[in-house]
Amino acid sequence: MRTATMGRLSDRTALVTGGSRGIGRSISLRLARDGALVAVHYGHDPAPAAETVAQIEAAGGKAFAFRARLGVSGDAVALWEAFDKGLAEYGAAPGLDILVNNAGITLPKPIATVSEEEYDRVFAVNVKAPFFVIQQGLGRLRDGGRIVNISSGVTRIAIPHIAAYSMTKGAINTLTLTLAQELGARGITVNAVAPGIVDTDINPTLKDPEVRARYAAVSAFDRLGEPSDIADVVAFVASDDARWVTGQYLDATGGGHLGV
């Protein structure tokens, strides 16, 4: 494992929702390697969050984990209260520089079989939660800060069996564009990063060699995405190098479905 470097994000604090597993873990590791203090949010299982923090600390980085359930009433208030408490216990200054809205759930069902309860749940976690997390966090976010929303390539590529999920990510793209205009006066950039098919343990279908090969063929590079592929893009838009980039949808699908 590469060790942390006091680099372009030193003296900054980042919060990654859903930061304990999969893409979220890779984002947490990368931001910490760039020097940020990373608040690793998790919703249910503390073990992966503790492991993520341990990996960051083993590489010389700084992190702490905190729990807040998303998709329920009052989730944003509870998240920020837990963040503030964790920050104080760590001995860090109040406030935030980088907010990565990564947490989300999927709903792999065609429109004909989606129930109202399922629809409400996926929108509660994927749209309502980040909306109010941002709203309640604006007072903590320092001028010149960064908001990075994790979208999806399904907003560009039609996949009928995840229609409701795709709609949530379309909403995130619109929120990104609107907030970029609103927060520009404070020097805050807002961008969306859209992964394609990424090889994580969260997707059990990728254990099937035939499925892996079929999904890999979707990319122009003929391979599945790695969590680090996404984390590196997030690290770019979270840095000063992307100070003139805002309101953008960054396609990180590896050229998914570029051809016929």
Amino acid, res. 96: L
d(CA 4, CA 35): 7
Quick count: other Cβ atoms within 10 Å of Cβ 47?
Answer: 9
Q: How far is CA 172 from CA 76, 87, 235, in A?
A: 16, 27, 19
Amino acid, res. 37: L
pLDDT at 151: 98
Print pLDDT tens along the chain (260 aa). 445 445 899 999 999 999 999 999 999 999 999 999 999 999 999 999 999 999 999 999 999 999 999 999 999 999 999 999 999 999 999 999 999 999 999 999 999 999 999 999 999 999 999 999 999 999 999 999 999 999 999 999 999 999 999 999 999 999 999 999 999 999 999 999 999 999 998 787 898 999 999 999 999 999 999 999 999 999 999 999 999 999 999 999 999 999 86
pLDDT at 202: 77
Quick count: other Cβ atoms within 10 Å of Cβ 178?
Answer: 12
pLDDT at 260: 66
pLDDT at 110: 96
CB 227 within 8 A of CB 26: yes
d(CA 153, CA 145): 25
d(CA 214, CA 225): 13
Alpha carbon 238 to its chain centroid, in Å, reads 12
CA angle 196, 147, 78 (to 5 degrees): 100
Residues tagged active-site? 165
pLDDT at 227: 98
d(CA 159, CA 170): 13
Give the β-pairing of 96-101 and 249-252: unpaired
pLDDT at 204: 79
Which residue has 């003929």 as its token pair?
222
Domain 13-252 belongs in CATH node 3.40.720.10:
no
pLDDT at 203: 81
pTM: 0.96
